[in-house]
Amino acid sequence: MTEIYLDNSATTRPFDEVIALCSHIQRDNYGNPSSLHARGIAAEKLLNEARRNIASLLQCREDELYFTSGGTEANNLALKGIAYRRQRRDGHIITTQIEHPSVLNCCRRLEEEGFAVSFLPVDRQGYLDLDELSRAIRDETILVSTSHVNNEIGTIQPVEKIGAIIKELNPRTLYHIDGVQSFAKIPASLQHWQADLYSCSAHKIHGPKGAGALWVRKGVSLQPLFQGGEQEKTLRPGTENTAAIAGFGLAARINETLLEDNAAQLYRLKEKLYRGLQQAGVEVYLNGPPLEQAAPHILNLSFPGIKSEVLLHFLEENEIYVSAGSACHSRRPEPSHVLAAIGLDESRLFSALRFSFSSFNNLTEINRVIERIVPAIRELKTYQGR
Ligand SMILES: Cc1ncc(COP(=O)(O)O)c(C=O)c1O
Residues 229 and 295 in one domain: no
Query: If we measure between CA atoms, which residue out of 200, 207, 187 comes closest to residue 251?
Result: 207
Quote the pLDDT of residue 305: 93
Is 78 found in the same domain as 42?
Answer: yes
Domain boundary among 207, 227, 253: 253
Asked if 240 and 279 sit in the same domain, the reply is no
Taking the centre of ligand 1 as the mean of its atom positions, its distance from the CA of residue 301, in whole angstroms, is 21
Residue nearest to atom 15 of ligand 1 (CA): 180
Can you tell me the distance from the alpha carbon of 379 to that of 360, in angstroms, rounded to the nearest whole number? 30
- Do 305 and 330 belong to one domain? yes
pTM comes to: 0.96
Residue 331 pLDDT? 55
Atom 9 of ligand 1, nearest CA residue? 71
Pocket test for ligand 1, best of 9, 146, 155, 181 (most atoms within 8 A of CB): 181
**With a 6 A CB cut-off, is 91 part of the ligand 1 pocket?**
no
Q: Is residue 92 located within the same domain as residue 165? A: yes
Q: Does residue 312 share a domain with residue 196?
A: no
Which atom from ligand 1 is nearest to the alpha carbon of 75? 4
What tens-digit pLDDT sequence spans the chain (386 residues)? 699 999 999 999 999 999 999 999 999 999 999 999 999 999 999 999 999 999 999 999 999 999 999 999 999 999 999 999 987 557 999 999 999 999 999 999 999 999 999 999 999 999 999 999 999 999 999 999 999 999 999 999 999 999 999 999 999 999 999 999 999 999 999 999 999 999 999 999 999 999 999 999 999 999 999 999 999 999 999 999 999 999 999 999 999 988 878 889 999 999 999 999 999 999 999 999 999 999 999 999 999 999 999 999 999 999 999 999 644 444 556 889 999 999 999 999 999 999 999 999 999 999 999 999 999 998 887 766 54
Q: Select from 219, 253, 287 the last residue of a domain.
A: 253
Q: In the chain, count H helices and then E strands.
A: 11, 12
Does 33 contact ligand 1 (Cβ within 6 A)? no
Closest atom, ligand 1, to C-alpha of 209: 10
At residue 334, the pLDDT reads 80
Predicted pLDDT of residue 288: 98
Angle between helices 101-112 and 71-85 (to 10 degrees): 30
| Minimum-distance ligand 1 atom for the alpha carbon of 149 | 1
Residue 180 Cβ inside 6 Å of ligand 1? The answer reads yes
Q: Please indicate, yes or no, whether residues 42 and 128 belong to a single structural domain of this protein.
A: yes
Do both 100 and 58 map to the same domain? yes
What is the model's pLDDT at position 328?
Answer: 45
Q: In angstroms, what is the span from residue 72 Cα to ligand 1's centroid?
A: 6
Q: What are the residue numbers of the active site?
A: 328
Among 187, 219, 253, give the residue marking a domain's end.
Answer: 253
Find out whether the beta carbon of 147 lies less than 6 Å from any atom of ligand 1.
Answer: yes
Which is the closest atom of ligand 1 to the Cα of 73? 11
C-alpha 369/C-alpha 315 separation (Å) is 8
Residue 263 belongs to domain with CATH number: 3.90.1150.10
Assess whether 101 and 75 both reside in one domain. Answer: yes
The answer, yes or no, to whether any atom of ligand 1 lies below 6 A from the CB of 102, is yes
In total, how many domains does the chain have? 2
CA 314 to ligand 1 centroid distance, Å: 26
**350 in Cβ contact with 336 (< 8 Å):** no
Half-sphere CA count of 15, side-chain side, radius 13 A: 21
Give me the pLDDT at residue 326, please: 46
Residues 57 and 80 in one domain: yes
Task: Report how far ligand 1's centroid is from the alpha carbon of 381 (Å).
Answer: 34
Q: Is 178 in the pocket of ligand 1 (CB under 6 A)?
A: yes
Contacts (Cβ under 8 Å, ≥6 apart) of 190: 58, 59, 60, 198, 215, 217
DSSP, res 155:
-
Q: Is the CB of 151 under 6 A from ligand 1?
A: yes
Answer whether 99 contacts ligand 1 (Cβ < 6 A): no
Q: What separation in Å is there between the alpha carbon of 330 and the centre of ligand 1?
A: 14
**Is 325 strand, coil or helix?**
coil
CA distances, 75 to each of 81, 176, 216, 281 (Å): 9, 9, 12, 42
pLDDT at 378: 87
pLDDT (0 to 100) of residue 380:
83
Do 231 and 266 lie in a common domain?
no
Answer yes or no: do 204 and 268 share one domain.
Answer: no
Return d(Cα 336, Cα 326) in angstroms, integer: 8
- State the Cα–Cα distance between residues 57 and 185, nearest whole angstrom: 10
Domain that holds residue 37: 16-253
Per the CB < 8 A criterion, the answer to whether 331 and 301 are in contact is no
Residue 73: give its domain's CATH number.
Answer: 3.40.640.10
- Looking at residue 88, what is its pLDDT? 58
**Ligand 1 centre distance from Cα of residue 180 (Å):** 6
